[in-house]
Each structure stands twice: as C-alpha cells, then as structure tokens.
A = this chain, B = another copy of it.
Amino acid sequence: MDFSYITDNQKRFIDELTEFLRIPSISTLPEYKESVQQAAEWTASRLQHAGIEHVKVMETNGHPIVYGDWLHAEGAPTVLFYGHYDVQPAEPLDLWNSQPFEPVIENERIYARGATDMKANVLLPVIACETWLKDANTLPVNVKFLFEGEEEIGSPSLAGFMEENKELLRADAAISADSGRMEEDQPASMVSLRGLAGVQIDVRSAGGDLHSGLYGGAVPNSAQALARILDSLKHEDGTVAVEGFYDDVMERSDEEKETINATFSSDETFQQKAGVDRVYGEPGYTPGEQTLIRPTLDINGLWGGYQGIGVKTVIPAESHAKVTCRLVPNQDPEHVIDLIRRHVERHTPAEVDALVFPLEGKAYPYMLPEDHPGLKAVEEAVQHVEEKSPHQLRIGGSIPVAGLLQQLLDVHTVQLGYSVFDEGMHAPNEFYRLSQFEKGQKVYTRLLQELAEYLE
C-alpha cells in the first residue's frame, strides 16, 4: 500500500477536520448537549463515508457512543479502534487568540478546542480504513470502531456500555488514538497508565455549628476529627498508611525502572516544573517511579467551618475532604475505596461520625504486556513511516478506556496518537500539527497491515 491516496486527499481531510472542530461538543456543559449529539452524528457519517458498515449512534444514559465495523477479512484478527469525539470547555475565552470553535490554520498548525484532544487523532484510523478500502477494496484485518462522547467527564457510561455489548465489541486487540508523544520527532506508545479511585469523607460532630464560648471544651469538633482521620491516611515518610493499600501493587522490573529513570527529567527540573523546594514521596523510589508506576493518595480538597476574613468563634458541626488515589496494576479501584472506608472507620474518633462515599471517575490502572503483538505491530508501522522506533511511555495520569477494555472485555490496548504534549490540551490556543496529521494517517494505514501479521 503506498500513500498516494493520503497525499492526494490531504486537503479534503484537513477540511473535514476543520468541519469536525467547528462542532462545540463540550460534554461537561448541559447546554452543549445538542452539539455533542451533532458530533456523534458527524463521526458516524464520516465512518460510513470511509466504507465502514453497521454504523450506529447508540444511546447511553449520557452522551451517545458511535459504533461501526467492517468484518470481511475472513480468518484475520479483529481490531477495535477507540477514540472520543467530545472536548473540554474552552474557557478562559479571553486567552484565546482566535475563536475556539472557528479553526484557524497558521504555520501548518490548526488551532481549535479539540484539535489535539482528540478530534484529529479520531480521524487517523478512519482515514486509514478509507485508504485501504478505496485503494485495495478490502482491509487486512477486521475492524470495529468505538467512539465515545464522555471521555472528558470520566467516561461514566462506558463500563455499562461495554458490559451490555460484549459480543459486539469482541476483538483481539484495541488501538487507542487518545495518545501522543513528548516531542515532535520522537514517536511514542503509551504502555502504562495509573488508575483512579476517590472518596469524599464527611465528618459530623453536632447538629449545627456551636459557639465556642458557650460550648468550647465540652463538645467534639468535626474539623479536629477530620484532621485526625486525614493524618492517619499517610505515614510521615510519604507512604500510604491505609491498611492493605500496597498488597496488590505490582512490583516492576529493574529494566522498566531503568527505562523510566533514563528518560525522566532530573530531580532539579522536576522540582522546578512542580514549583517545590524538594522532592518528597515514597522512600526507595525515584520521582519518575513515584509518579509513573507507584500508587498515591492525595487530599484534593478540604473544608469546614468559617473561612472568611477575621475571627468567627464557631465550632464547625461538619467538615469534609476529597481524597483520590492514583493506582497501579493490580490495584482495583473498588477494593481501594473499600480499604479507605475501613481505614476511616477504624480511625474515626469515637466522639464524631464519619461517612465515606465513592467519587465518580474511577479508572482501572493499565499496563500493556511488554511482548504484546499489537505493540510489535505499532513499532513496525512507526519504524516504516517515521524511520524511528517509538518510546514506551508510562503515564501517571488516568484514561479509563484501556483499563476497562482489559477488565471487562479481556482486550489489551495499544495506545498510539499523534498529539504532541506541547499542543495545549485542555488549555487556550489548543492546536495540532498538520505534519503529524498526515504522518499519523500513513502510520495507521501501515498499521492495519502490521496488525494482520503480528496479531495472528
């Protein structure tokens, strides 16, 4: 397969991307519900235009999921392509140099909300399939597409959808285009993500706030009790004190640690970026290991009582905290929430009541096996087009899909996207490099062929 179809049609692909970016598919804001629907329909129609069959806009409790497939490669493996068509809000608007939903091309970059996260990447597997179907009238593998509209709000409908459509989504491997690289000229595949589990802790010490002159000394204080509970969550040395927290944690190989440490920034650079005076964390691990392959527990917020100017001598009846954990294989978000709940029960002072309830937005940790054939296929395809081998990236953040696919469908996900991490994801003046767009189309086109070979 040569890439002449891609070259010949590049102007049209950019026009299509521009059209796609004009739809303000902001999943988090209810007033954009229709636009999100419109983006789903646009995606479905684009799939059909590429020659994909059985294209459906499928309803969920939230925004719809777009499905499509082409299953005529008899005896060949089946690949599931994942992406999301929703975007983040564009605020703060005054920091944009152009309108976020009126794409502008300048210096071979297209500026718009959703450009790099991830509408351009969404088109890569679609264009790759179109290229094969137009040029060769066939595909080397069977393909399925799963495009969701809720990634930016934590994919709340995705797990349920997968459970209900296990047969429809069955595949030998998944490829997620919701990915990228650190530098423009260094390709990368994300092979490890941390999971996420969170709780809110609500402490109550009385029926209402009390005057410290009248009651102070003889009644409990919710804020004092919350401090005790929160303090009990971590040891002084930075390790998590929740009983059983580390039990399931996968210890990573020395080689993996070496790889991480070789590519991670120096402590000095890391401190500078974080704006901290010193690194601090689990003893025995480097900052790279701590942030990429070790689990964490962080208080994200806390509040209670009087927070204004001056003095108000109140004994707060209620105090609250939000706590989230980044998880690593083989930790389970539900189990971690349960461990925290039990820990809080054991560490709640007898004079108050504390409730722990799970926060939305849990994600399973994910790690692609080093020897997964899909990774080999990606390496070959990237090498062929870019003449460089992709780095294996570990990410400290969380994206639900890969963990869910593994947990619920037993499918591994190779993550290959053409975003570069300087392209303003979630920020004003988000953009995407058009050179990456074309390169990504070529790599994905080649990838179909490599997948046919390696997934056998």
Contact = CB atoms under 8 A, between A and B. Distances in A.
A307 B333 CA distance: 22
Interface stretch (A103-111, A290-298, A335-343): A290-298
A390 B393 CA distance: 80
B317 A275 contact: yes
Given A213-B396, A280-B218, A280-B220, A315 B287 contact: no
Given A302-B305, A311-B324, A326-B216, A206 B276 contact: yes
Given A213-B397, A224-B230, A231-B227, A319 B290 contact: no
Contact of A312 (B300, B321, B398): B300
A234 interface: yes
A369 interface: no
A136 interface: no
Given A207-B275, A279-B219, A305 B301 contact: yes
A311 B220 contact: no
Interface in A226-243: 226-228, 230-231, 233-234, 236, 238
Contact of A206 (B206, B234, B275): B275
A145 B161 CA distance: 79
B276 A207 contact: yes
A65 interface: no
Contact of A322 (B220, B311, B317): B311
Contact of A305 (B275, B310, B315, B322): B322
Contact of A227 (B230, B290, B300): B230
A154 interface: yes
A303 interface: yes
B281 A301 contact: no
A212 B306 contact: no
Contact of A302 (B217, B275, B303): B303
Nearest to A228: B231
A377 to B, nearest CB: 28
Interface string A25-63: 000000000000000000000000000000000000000
Contacts of A154: 311
B280 A224 contact: no
A355 interface: no
A290 B231 contact: no
B305 A214 contact: no
A408 interface: no
Interface string A420-435: 0000000000000000
Contact of A300 (B212, B233, B397): B212
Q: Which of A300, A324, A326 gathers the greatest number of chain B CB atoms within 10 Å?
A: A300
A238 B301 CA distance: 26
B220 A298 contact: no
Contacts of A207: 274-276
A316 interface: yes
Contacts of A72: none
A301 B312 contact: yes
A313 interface: yes
A122 B233 CA distance: 54
Nearest to A322: B306
Contacts of A314: 300-301
A315 B296 CA distance: 11
A441 interface: no
Contacts of A198: 311, 313
Q: Which of A212, A238, A317 gathers the greatest number of chain B CB atoms within 10 Å?
A: A212
Contacts of A321: 223
A319 B302 contact: yes
The 3 closest A-B pairs by CB, nearest first: A207-B275, A213-B397, A301-B305
12 contacts: A212-B296, A213-B326, A218-B290, A221-B299, A223-B300, A226-B302, A236-B349, A300-B305, A303-B304, A303-B307, A310-B361, A313-B324
